[in-house]
Amino acid sequence: MRWPAIEGLGAADRAWTTSRVFRRVEQVMTFGLGVVLLLEALLRVVLVYSHSRSDLFHASVASQLPGLVLFVGYLVAIRLFAVPIASREVDAEVARASADSLSTVTEEA
């Protein structure tokens, strides 16, 4: 009996080792998240310091919206562009591992 989900557990690790494309996609996603976090922090500081002390509560609430828009935009972009590429690389690694295990089983028989 074969368990494809279990076979795929180490596929991302193997794809990191063997696939330059997978590594690049992961690095770009990490870099993108870093940029989003820095922009969110910068926007928050600008929004909070641009309001008076009496309006600080409203400024802190208002500073949440640009951060939320940035994060949602980042997640949508990752889902549309990076995840399909990374998934294709991991699926190829699972197929490669399955082919290797099948060839090992037929050699033993």
Domain range annotation of the chain:
26-89
Distance of CA 81 to the CA centre of its chain: 10
Percent of the chain with pLDDT over 90: 45
The predicted structure's pLDDT at residue 1: 41
Q: How far apart are CA 34 and CA 28, in angstroms?
A: 10
pLDDT in tens, 100-109: 776 665 665 5
Q: Other C-beta atoms within 10 Å of 19: how many?
A: 20
DSSP designation for 9: T
Distance of CA 14 to the CA centre of its chain: 17
Q: How far apart are CA 86 and CA 20, in angstroms?
A: 11
Against a cut of 0.85, is the pTM above it?
no
**Around 90, how many Cα atoms within 13 Å sit in the side-chain half-sphere?**
17
pLDDT in tens, 50-89: 878 888 787 778 778 888 999 999 999 999 999 999 999 9
The sign one gets for the Cα dihedral 62, 67, 68, 69 is positive
Mean pLDDT, the chain, rounded, equals: 84
More confident residue, 4 or 32: 32
